[in-house]
Structure 1
Amino acid sequence: MSRLRPLLMLLPFLPASVALAAPLGEAEALRAAIDTHASIESARSALTAVQGIQAEADFLLPGNPALRIERTTDRWHHNNGEREWVAEISAPVWMPGQMSGRQAVAAAKRTEAEADVAAVKWALAGAVREAYWKAWEAKELLKAAEERLDRTKSVLAAAEKQVKAKEMRELDARTVAGEVLADRQTLARRRGEYDAALAVLVELTGLSKTSLDDLAAPNPSAPPPQLAADLEASRPDLKALRSRLEGGRANVDLQEARALPNPELSLAVKRTSTDYDRTYDDSVIFGIKMPIP
């Protein structure tokens, strides 16, 4: 026991995969798929883009402000010293109903994107669960085929000894040899089925084949807890359809509000001089540009 004490003291510092090699469960496979699968990443990227649209819809102005700087001189004409400087900043303002309509469209798109993420999780969870069950079943069938081949090989070895001892007919031993050949063919088929099922599971989860060699027996009574936590009692497909309908209606209202360009408010500082010897006269100009329907 004293010789094993140093190893026992190092046990808490070993990685979990070394200290306790537990079989991979269905929940871990689903978690890996949700973290790495391309369909989830695409749906999350769409959600991030929609969040940017929503932030733009909540902005104070419907568009970007503009800056104008202008200089006028008669130097190339009469050259009397007339000079003028104008610095102006202008910004569009919301028309009635525009901001609320834009926010409604952005909110509907965000709800749709969130529902799309949930729907992708549903589809991915179903695909992972089906692939996990098929891989586990193929693994069990492969084990059964290996055990059967070992038994038939043992029977064939015993039969060959009995044939040499003149205790069994050679025809009966050939029958056992035929069973061994059939079991080898079955084993090759089972190994191919297992490799194919494992390849599907590897593609879905992004895990290595070595980590999927030992699969825990799936529980047929309940899905993994991620499904119960994220997707239970919800229909993300119907939610996405409703959000598309609401977004379409809000977009129609928004297009009606956008029929006219936005009004613009402007603030300008003007400096004017009519002679080289005169100082500048400064003035401040407030303006508004209204569209005419």
Structure 2
Amino acid sequence: MKILMLGAALLLPLAAHAQNAAPRGRAAATATQNGSLSRHLEAALALDASLRALEAQQTAAGARGVTARSAIAGPPSISGSFRSDTRGPRDQREMEMDFSAPLWLPGQRGALSGTVTSSVAEFGQRIALRRLEVMGLLREAWWEAAEARRSVQFARGRLGTAREIARDVSRRAELGDIPPTEALLARNETLAAELGLAQAQAQADQSVEAYRVLTGGLEPNLPVEVVRARRAHHPALLAAEATLAHAEARQRLVAATPRDNPELGTFLRQENGVGTNDATSIGLRFRLPLATEARNAPRRAEAQSEVTRAVALLAQARRLVEAEVARARAQLAASEQTLTLARQRLSVANEQEQIALRAFRSGETGTFDLYRVRQLRLEASNEEGRAGIEANRARSRLNQAMGVVP
């Protein structure tokens, strides 16, 4: 009996639909899959601390836009002073109040606005990349659970056939057709199958629980993924490009800020006292810091190093994405070929087992020969089920390599 790969609760329908109903069935399965994947992904992302941190950093980066939209380059300031003659404040005194604000340098405001925009965009792409990373964790956890559940179904099938053969062996041993030692062989195989089922069920429970921890309690009951068409831009490439754009924006800001911001202020001065005419004066103050190479050279070098690093990381990301896609495609082709061969082997093994079972029941062969043929069929069935899981896992990994996120 051929063991189902994932169990009835996890498999897509295996029976062929009528030709006119197949497109509707495929469309419905795809829609269900997309909805389930999206729901499970959002549940996992809601628990992901790294994503929450990136979103908070994006909000903080956007808050810097308030400065770029301001009419002045920074917060204004108020200062004051008071002076008195050595004879005492009653004889002669002077008070001064000062209000000043930093001014934008030519092109500085636009350059700062560019860094804000590029920073927000960079964090947006990093968030998209993190979604892909969490989707990768979700896919791997799903297929681990699927493989564990397949092992449970296989173990149940093994136990069922072991009990069936054990009943035939026990009946023939009672009739004296075969020696009692062969009945012990059947009993031993049944116990081994029961042990295998218990171990497989424990592993499946652990894998399912790991998936539930990742998604906050959702069960791994997604349908099999299909390979999607490759997207024009991979999230890793978009994130690297956004990092480069932000580094270039920072470089432009450094070029537009060769000196600290000048300041323009107004002051109010009042003088009075004995022997002094009371006077009040108003004036302007202007402060212009000078550009020096000691200030600007380190800033230019640091900005250039960020651009150089971003360019190198973008080139590396392109190579890695292309290599990962090529590797995933090769893995999918190999796994599909393996699945085809495993199915052919299982078909032959099933036929061998049926022949051996009929021969055993008619007394033409012994118990040991039957179990040897049965073991071959069990191995073929296990390999076919595992090959099916690996083929589906390879499809998911190809989607992951191409940056597909539902």
Seen in structure 2, the aligned counterparts of structure 1 residues 57 and 193 have a Cα distance that, compared at 3 Å, is farther
String of CA shifts for 1:190-209, please: whole Å, max 9, x gaps. 2343244324423422x23x
Structure 2: distance between partners of 1:179 and 1:28: 43
The partner residue of 2:95 within 59, 64, 85 is: 85
The partner residue of 1:73 within 84, 88, 94 is: 84
Report if the CA contact (8 A) 2:138-2:214 is conserved.
yes
Seen in structure 2, the aligned counterparts of structure 1 residues 197 and 58 have a Cα distance that, compared at 3 Å, is farther
Q: Partner of 1:286 in structure 2?
A: 284
Which amino acid is 1:96 matched to? P
Structure 2: distance between partners of 1:139 and 1:58: 58
String of CA shifts for 1:1-59, please: whole Å, max 9, x gaps. xxxxxxxxxxxxxxxxxxxxxxx944432221122222322221221222223333333
Q: Equivalences for 1:1-293 in 2 at 5 Å?
A: 25-74=36-85, 77-79=86-88, 81-153=91-163, 155-156=165-166, 159-160=169-170, 163-164=173-174, 166=176, 168-205=178-215, 207-208=216-217, 211-212=218-219, 215-221=220-226, 233-275=232-274, 280-293=278-291
Q: Partner of 1:10 in structure 2?
A: none
String of CA shifts for 1:143-175, please: whole Å, max 9, x gaps. 342353255346546644654564653222122
Q: Once the 2 structures are TM-superposed, how far is the Cα of residue 128 of structure 1 from its aligned partner?
A: 0.9
SS in structure 1 of the partner of residue 270 of structure 2: strand
Deviates more, 1:176-185 or 1:104-113: 176-185
Q: Once the 2 structures are TM-superposed, how far is the Cα of residue 100 of structure 1 from its aligned partner?
A: 1.2
Structure 2: distance between partners of 1:56 and 1:177: 81
Q: Once the 2 structures are TM-superposed, how far is the Cα of residue 141 of structure 1 from its aligned partner?
A: 2.7
Report if the CA contact (8 A) 2:265-2:286 is conserved.
yes
Deviates more, 1:92-101 or 1:47-56: 47-56
Structure 2: distance between partners of 1:194 and 1:288: 75
Report if the CA contact (8 A) 2:67-2:74 is conserved.
no
Structure 1: distance between partners of 2:37 and 2:183: 45
Q: Once the 2 structures are TM-superposed, how far is the Cα of residue 93 of structure 1 from its aligned partner?
A: 0.7
**Number of residues of Structure 1 aligned to a counterpart in Structure 2:** 258
Identity fraction in percent: 23
Which amino acid is 2:221 matched to? A
Deviates more, 1:156-165 or 1:193-202: 156-165
Structure 1: distance between partners of 2:192 and 2:278: 106
Structure 2: distance between partners of 1:283 and 1:180: 107
String of CA shifts for 1:79-99, please: whole Å, max 9, x gaps. 362112212111101000111
Seen in structure 2, the aligned counterparts of structure 1 residues 44 and 84 have a Cα distance that, compared at 3 Å, is same
Unaligned runs of 5+ in 2: 1-34, 292-406
Structure 2: distance between partners of 1:83 and 1:221: 86
TM-score calculated relative to the size of structure 2 = 0.56
Q: Partner of 1:9 in structure 2?
A: none
Report if the CA contact (8 A) 1:133-1:218 is conserved.
no
Higher relative contact order (CA 8 A, sep 6+): 1
Deviates more, 1:195-204 or 1:103-112: 195-204
Seen in structure 2, the aligned counterparts of structure 1 residues 274 and 241 have a Cα distance that, compared at 3 Å, is same
Unaligned runs of 5+ in 1: 1-23
TM-score calculated relative to the size of structure 1 = 0.75
Q: Once the 2 structures are TM-superposed, how far is the Cα of residue 130 of structure 1 from its aligned partner?
A: 2.6
Report if the CA contact (8 A) 1:54-1:106 is conserved.
yes
Structure 2: distance between partners of 1:83 and 1:157: 117
